[in-house]
Chains A and B, each alone.
Chain A
Amino acid sequence: MDKKQNQNDEELYHSFLNESMEDYEESYKVTEKNQKKLIKAGRNDALKTNIMISLAIILLIVPVLTLSSFLYYAFGGKANHLIEIATKTIYVTEPNMSLEEIEVEEDIGFFTMDLTFDVFKRIGQEDYQAGEYSVDFALDQPNYPEREMKLEKPLPITADMETDLLYHPDGPYGATVYSDWEILDHLPDGTVGEVYLSLNQLMKPEELEKQLGNNVEVRWVAVDTGFEDKPLSEVDYSVAPIGYPLQVDSTTWSPFNGREQSNEEVFLDILKFLAKDEKTAERVSRARSLALGERISYIEKNGIQVYGAVVTGPTPELRKLKEHDLIHIMKVGEVKLWNWK
């Protein structure tokens, strides 16, 4: 009896199941046309998604690289540090050259930073734009600066002890160089000029200023660092004069603003600051090498003694310097129309 009952149940179950399956197939059957449509829609959807995600990834490349570059230069104040090296190098390696830190422009690309700034020379009592410098950094390594000078007698791009018109009294350089007194004689009185004076002896910068009098202004002094009086064969490096501006620069951003330290102290601080990144400073400077370690210890041992100076003033006053016993060689730099008040 039980066996028969079970068989009936099984049959009933199978018929019910078959009926349900038929029902399902009838009501949910997808026609071949619809199947193709579905596959096509799925394929299109996947293609659209792929295209959009690929596009997003491609478009993210430039912003991500830009942001990473900004983070690289901002992190730890790297950009500001590089700007400081570049500007301070100019003050101590280029005679009578100053710049406006506030006007330094930076342009950051993909892990590169281009600095551009104007440099100025004081001729008479006015600052004249001497040129435009552009220093390009790849990461933190500078390329050689591009200098577009607007001067009549610019110094050569590569400097050594022969080229910068300032010669040490005991050195081998400048032996065949003659003074430019004749040029000054032919200049009209209504002009102002900038001259490079090489002295007969070493002296303190204040003493030099006192000796030259109030009618001319000593702008920049070249400091004896133990290299200037030796021929190249005796020293390992080809160096060029270094020095500092003697006058206080009252603009807020100049390191030589005279508020907390004297210009001498600032000069030594700058040398020590540059010594930490000497390779970078060397690239920015016109000299082949700066040899700052040796020069700093020499200055600390012997004090600041100057052997040359860049002086500006009215041409008639500059002519009078000819009578000074102090002056060994005088070379004329720039000349401008009268602006001495």
Chain B
Amino acid sequence: MELEMSNKNKGKQRKLPTLSGFLSFVVALVALAGVNLSLLMDFDDFPKMFLIDLPIVGFFLGLLGLVTSKRSKLYALWGIGISLFILVFTFLMIGLSWVAINPKP
């Protein structure tokens, strides 16, 4: 008969994967804040960093967080969700403005 507690060292192993899920969420939030700013301030330039670069980084960080640890799943899922939303948002906005609303050759 053995009453063994087997989670002695988990705390230390968990740190890196937790960080990737958390980072994914943070990166997605920064990108989302950038999208808000550019929409509200009516920027003329296409903010590529907020609309494409950061969401891609957030998405992959989220995937990493998702496969490596249970505890960071919530953050990772939010990170992936927001990143995907921004990418879909960008794709649809460009598509609609070019094709569906007042198209110009």
Complex Cα distance A80/B78, Å? 36
Q: Which residues of B contact A24 (CB under 8 A)?
A: 3
Q: Per DSSP, are chain B's interface residues mostly helix, strand or loop, or mixed?
A: helix
List CB contacts (< 8 Å) of A61-116 with chain B.
Answer: 62-63, 66-67, 70-71, 73-74, 77, 79-80, 83, 102, 104, 106, 108
Docked Cα-Cα span, A229 to B69, in Å, equals 84
Q: Tell me if B78 and A62 are in contact (CB < 8 A).
A: no
Is residue A28 within 8 Å, beta carbon to beta carbon, of the partner chain? yes
Q: Give the A-binding residues of B (Cβ under 8 A).
A: 1, 3, 5, 25-26, 28-29, 32-33, 35-36, 39-40, 74-75, 78, 82, 85-86, 89, 92-93, 96-97, 100-105
Q: Contacts of B3 on A, CB cut-off 8 Å?
A: 20, 24
Query: Which A residues lie within 8 Å of B25 (CB)?
Result: 52, 56
Say whether A56 contacts B29, CB under 8 Å: yes
Any B CB within 8 A of the CB of A183: no
Contact present for B82 and A56 (CB under 8 Å):
yes
A27 closest partner in B (C-beta): B5
Whether B39 lies near A63 (C-beta < 8 A) is: yes
Chain A nearest CB, measured from B99 CB (Å): 8
Q: Does A151 count as interface, using CB distance less than 8 angstroms?
A: no
Question: In the complex, what residues of B have CB within 8 A of residue A55's CB?
Answer: 29
Chain A positions 1-40 with a Cβ under 8 Å from a chain B Cβ? 16, 20, 24, 28
Asked if A102 contacts B104 (CB within 8 A), the reply is yes
- The answer, yes or no, to whether A175 is at the interface (CB within 8 Å) is no
Most buried by A among B97, B100, B104: B100
Q: Which chain A residues border B92 with CB–CB below 8 Å?
A: 67, 70-71
Contact of B36 among A53, A63, A71, A104 (CB under 8 A): A63
Whole-angstrom CA separation of A49 from B72 in the bound complex = 11
| Interface contact A79-B101, CB-CB below 8 Å | yes
Assuming the contacts A24-B3, A53-B78, A71-B96, asked whether A106 and B101 have C-beta atoms less than 8 A apart, the reply is yes
Chain A residues with CB under 8 Å of B39's CB are: 62-63, 66
B89/A62 in contact, CB under 8 A: no
A151 to chain B minimum Cβ distance, whole angstroms, is: 27
